[in-house]
Structures are given as structure tokens and as C-alpha cells.
Amino acid sequence: MLDLLIKNGTVIDGTGTPGRSASVGVVGGRVVEVGAIDDTAKRVIDASDLVVAPGFIDLHTHYDAQAFWDRTLSPSPLHGVTTVVSGNCGFTIAPLSADPDDSDYLMRMLARVEGMPLQSLQQGVPWDWSSTSEFLDRLDRRLAPNIAFLVGHSALRRVVMHDDAVGRTATDQEMEAMKELLRRGLAAGGLGFSSTWSRSHNDHLGNPVPSRHASAEELIALSAVTGEFPGTTLEFIPAPAPFDTDLFELMASMSRAADRPINWNVLPVYSKNTPVVEQQLAGSDYAANLGGRVVALTLPDSQRNRLNFRSGFILDILPGWERLMALPDDEKLAMLADPAGRAEMDRLAQSMEGPLRAIANWRQYRLVDTFHPDHKQFEGMAVGQIAELVGQTAWDTLAGIVVKDELRTVILNEDRGQDEQSWRRRVEVWRDPRTVVGASDAGAHLDMIDTFNYPTTMMATPVREHGLLPLEEAIYYLTGAPADLYGLRDRGRIRPGAWADLVVLDPDTVAPHPVSTRFDLPGGAARVYGGADGIEHVLVAGEEIVSGGAFTTARPGRVLRSGTDSYTVTAAAVS
């Protein structure tokens, strides 16, 4: 007798091949049969007119902290995600030193750089482990979806160097200590090594995060340690685009030292940024000629950033703004209220060069939320429109609103990527072997982004609405492709022996819900949230964690560990 029978569905198996009418039998958490099944089962799901697919795999999340207060890792599973990889960008909360100042630093750094409310980190996370091994054990078999963790560079530096992690390169002795800490984390099951050099990553004091003070030699040495362990990988955030040759040389050296692929985040694609995309992808070819494999993580949607001047994330990419955005609220308000201070801020912002100069195009932002009654009439309008009505420059208009709102104003960048040509261009990029789909950042920037919904967006917009690719191909990009890049064993496919991580969905209705703000985090903090239509059943190891768009009480998820749950993918391997 089967534990579970999913009958009469169209099975899309994660390989990209055409779907076929078949049933799926499950015993002991694994698929045992696919096809015409003549057997009884303890439970039956009728998938008539529905698609049965492998559970979706999200390679870039930051659920490290949320896993302690939300065992469902919501809302990702509502969009069909059954496995997430966390600990990206070098930002992990393990290992920890015995010095409480180090934990406090990591907590405040995460609040600043990843948009996790400080009160939620203080009230929702115990902070009572020391090693990566202890951290992983705390979460194993307690979550709804599966989760894997990279070992983060900034945490390693903080444990070894304490306050000196920010401000200088490591000594030879400190380097050896970091290498040993990384070895322990990977031996415990860490999936790989992550780091960042991105200018957008600054701590709560306005300083570059610890990993940004590392030399290229340090990054390469830690990458080499990663290659000592089977089933590991590399993840890196280089800098805002476009990258120079030195960055591609660095990533190639890291990949070559580990003999592992390295994926970098993030490659946004629009109809009008083709030259930048081509330059970034050509860098992968350059790296390949040096013996490395560099893969771009590309977001299958527009980047919609809800920005505010309280956290200042993204805004702190502007020249000189990293320290301004780290000022205490009262000092920041005083600068924005003072005509001279306000003018100096805009002067610095307008000195930005390259593609990111659009960050300081104040006219294009839409006013999403304002909290002063004088401005409620302007909600939903572009700042440029408001400026014309009040007879001021766009910057003075926005700064005045922000001051009256006491920094709580929320603005949204113009979404210029929903035209069919942008979607057509994205499909071309997804088909490029130098890319992999992902970059949700789920669990981070909780008041700012909604890209946790990328799987349902991908199936709804380019597949169903625009007809730009078959559903089978889209599902491959969500399942088989990420599993192949990270070597996730027996996941991302529906076949006998594979784990029964499955999604049963309605291809005619699958789509993300509109997002809204809910105040359900520890300490009453807010986040952007949204579910989905058409995701009828989500199963992990054969147990249903989502039914009819709502979470069940099942918590079958496992912490996936390198070597045990993953196999080695070398730098030369191309899936």
C-alpha cells in the first residue's frame, strides 16, 4: 500500500520535457512510482486538470532568523517553494562567539543591511548557540519546508576579529582561524561559503560590513577551504553593475580555488538594459577562460523596491549616503529639514554615475505610504507630479514629505519592466547556461520587497499571459536547474527514488496575490506579505504543508547538509 497517491494529474517532472498524464505514488517520503498506478493508498489526492511538479527551489533567501519565530518560512511555501537556501551574502547568525557584543553587532548589522526589524531579532531569536553545528541542529526537522545554510563570511570575521572585523585586513593567524571555523561549519553540513563586496552592504554604523574589508587573498583562501568538502558551493555579491575585469578575475579565482561554481546576485533584466546584461554575461566567459565557472542569479521579474529614509537601504548606495543613512533618526531629520543639509544630500546623490544614477531620479518614485494628513491626498502619485502641484523641485518635495512623516514615508521605484519586450528578453536570459533563476531575497528587506512570489509570477506572466515559454520549461528553471547547480540530491525532479517534495497547481489560475502590509513579526513589526492562487497542494517528503492556499500544521522539513543531501558539482560541470 502507498502512503500517498496523486492521481490523474499532468506530471511535469522538472527536466523540461513535455508533461504527461500520470499518477505519482509515494512511500516513506519518496516517490516510488510514476505512471499508471494500480495500488491502494492511505491518502489520495485527485489532480484531475491540475499539474504535478517538483517543489520549487529558492537559492537566495535570508530565512536564518525568521526560522526561529515562523516555522512555515512564510510566505514562500504558499508560492510552491519546498526548499530554500539561506545564509547568503555572507550574512549568517552562526557561528557566534561567547562575547555578547559580537551577537549584538550581527543582530544590528542584519537589521540595517537586510531589513529585519531589530525588535524582531531581539525578541524572536534566542542567540544561544556558538557553532554552526549547534545552529543547524536547533532547526532540523522543525520547519515546514527544507532549508540549507551557507556559512557566512561576516560572521566568521566577527568571531575571529571582533571589532577589528571592520576596518582592516586579517593577519595570517586570523586567516587560519577563519579557515578552521569555516571547516567546522562545512563539516557540520554548511552548504558552502558566502560573502559580499557590494557597496550597498553597510552596517548599522554606516561602515562597510566585515567581509567588505577582506582582501582578495582572504576570499580565495576561504573558497579553497570550501573545496575540501563534498557537496559544497560558493555564493558572492560583487558590486553594483557593471563589474570590471578585476571582479570577474576574483570570482574566477574563487571558483578555481574551490573547484566549485560561484553564483553572484543579482542580474536584473529589462528591455533597455541589454548592454549591461551582455557585459555581465560576457564576464562569465572571461572567467571560464581562467578556469572558473561564474553563474549569474537572475530575478525573473522587475525589481520593485519600497524605499524609506529610516532604513536607507538602497539609498545608501548613493555617494556619501552610507553614513547619512546610518545617522540617528533625529540627526537625519535635522539634515533633511535644513535647506543647506538637504541641498548637500542632493548634490551627493546627483554625483552618482553609471546605471545606478536612476536611484536619485526623485521624480520617478511613487508615494506609496505617507503618514501626515497634509500628504494623504498625494498617495499613489509620482513625486514629479506632486512637485509640479506644489511648485517645488522633486527633491525638496520628497524631503519635505519625509520630514513631516518622521522618516516613515514609503516610496516605490517606477516599474519599467512589465512590457512584453522585457519579458521576452528575460526568457532569453533564462535560457543562457551562464544564468540561474532565483534571487527572491525572501526573509530579508521585509518592509521593502515582494519578490518572494517569483515562482507564481513566472508561471502567470511570461508563461500564461504572454505565451513566451512552455510551462515545462519554466518549471525546469524553478526546480531541476537550481538543484543541478547546487547538487541537491534527489530533489528538483519527479522520478522513482526522489524525495516527494511536490506541488500540485492549477496552470489556468496560478498567480501571486496582490501584496499588503501585515504586522505579525515579533515585537509587532511589519512586513510585506502575499499568498497565491492556484497552488492547491504543497508537499515536503510526502506530507502536505500547504492545502488550498493555507498552511497546515505539518513540519516535515529538514536541514539539508552538504555531502549528505548534496553531491559535488565542480567548476567544470555544466548541467
Q: Is 363 helix (H, G, I), strand (E, B) or coil?
A: helix
User: 517: how many CB neighbours lie within 10 A of its CB?
Assistant: 14
As given in the structure block, the three cell numbers for residue 501 are 517534495
As given in the structure block, the three cell numbers for residue 415 are 516599474
Q: Bridge-partner residues for 265, per DSSP?
A: 297
Strands, E, within 116-226: which ranges?
146-149, 151-152, 192-196
Distance CA 445, CA 62 (A): 9
What's the Cα-to-Cα distance from 529 to each of 61, 411, 448, 513, rounded to whole Å? 15, 17, 10, 9
Distance CA 414, CA 429 (A): 22
Q: What is the pLDDT of residue 526?
A: 82
Distance CA 155, CA 159 (A): 6
As given in the structure block, the three cell numbers for residue 406 are 518622521
**Backbone phi and psi for residue 173, each to the nearest 5 degrees, phi listed first:** -65, -45
Distance CA 242, CA 504 (A): 40
Q: Between 216-226 and 153-161, two packed helices, what is the crossing angle to 10 degrees?
A: 110
Residue spans of the chain under pLDDT 70:
573-575
Q: What is the pLDDT of residue 574?
A: 59
What letter does residue 557 receive in the DSSP assignment?
A: B
Distance CA 51, CA 105 (A): 46
Q: What is the pLDDT of residue 208?
A: 95
The candidate with the shortest Cα–Cα distance to 86, out of 481, 443, 339, is: 443
The radius of gyration of the chain from alpha carbons, rounded to an integer in Å, stands at 23
What letter does residue 514 receive in the DSSP assignment?
A: P
As given in the structure block, the three cell numbers for residue 460 are 502567470
CB of 527 within 8 A of CB of 446?
yes
Cis peptide before 266 (omega within 30 of 0): yes
The candidate with the shortest Cα–Cα distance to 185, out of 198, 194, 172, 175, is: 194
Amino acid at 31: V
Distance CA 321, CA 347 (A): 11
Cis peptide before 95 (omega within 30 of 0): yes
Q: What is the pLDDT of residue 519?
A: 84
Distance of CA 468 to the CA centre of its chain: 25
As given in the structure block, the three cell numbers for residue 263 are 553564483
Half-sphere exposure of 310 (CA within 13 A, CB side): 17
Q: What is the pLDDT of residue 448?
A: 86
Q: What is the pLDDT of residue 481?
A: 98
Q: Is 124 helix (H, G, I), strand (E, B) or coil?
A: helix
Query: What is the separation, in whole angstroms, between the first and last Cα of the chain?
Result: 36
Question: For 435-502, what is the HEC assignment?
Answer: EEECCCCECCCCCCCCHHHHHHHHHHHHHHHCCCCCHHHHHHHHCHHHHHHHCECCCCCCCCCCECCE
Q: What is the pLDDT of residue 128?
A: 94
Q: What is the pLDDT of residue 415?
A: 87
Interior angle at CA 56, CA 53 and CA 57, nearest 5: 145
CB of 528 within 8 A of CB of 118?
no
What letter does residue 308 receive in the DSSP assignment?
A: -
